[in-house]
Structure 1
Amino acid sequence: MYVVSLTYRVPQDIVDFHNDAHIAWLQKAFDNGVFIAAGRKVPRTGGLLLSQADRSVLDASLQQDPFYSNGVADFEVVEFHAGRVAPGYEILLDTPPAPPAEAGPNR
């Protein structure tokens, strides 16, 4: 899993100018399964994205973000393995893939 931290590099009016395009990109990325959560930092100095996508898919998507292509924010990607979660958040657990099913006898 990856946590992506965005930190704004420009004044808020420039962030606001690019925000609609960023939100449209973000929705497309959610629709494509790249992110599972997103939100603003408080105070509003950037945002955080949570992804369970492959790193290459994540990187390709981030490069399409208008905040990235227009130099609005710095991006830091941190890989993290969730080994323990509260009840109801099991989808966040970093579990190994299930072993392949054994083939039955041929008939």
Structure 2
Amino acid sequence: MKTNFELRPIFLSREKTIKGHFLICFLALTIQRYLEFVLDCCGYPMPTNKIIDAIKNQKLSIIPEINTYIKTEESEDFKTILKVLGIKPIETIGKYEDIKFTI
């Protein structure tokens, strides 16, 4: 099976921590597959690596001294993901209060 997950050693010993780690990994896989499914159903098939890259490349910096944020420009793939999920993109520069509710 092809996958975009990377394996590396984890050093967890308590059962509660192991279960928490498993839950996070399972949720990540579920969200990834859901995005692939929704994009495909809406006529925008996108491989996993493009979805991951589109999301990873988004950056948002908060400048608390002037109550402002600045974000990177969205890639076309990221715009497609937002469109399919019905999420309105935020402005490139704006006041922090404008996005507090969305974060």
Between 1 and 2, higher relative CO (CA 8 Å, sep ≥ 6) is seen in: 1
Which has more helix, going by share of residues?
Answer: 2
Which has more strand, going by share of residues?
Answer: 1
TM-score of the aligned structures, taking structure 2 as reference length: 0.28
TM-score of the aligned structures, taking structure 1 as reference length: 0.28
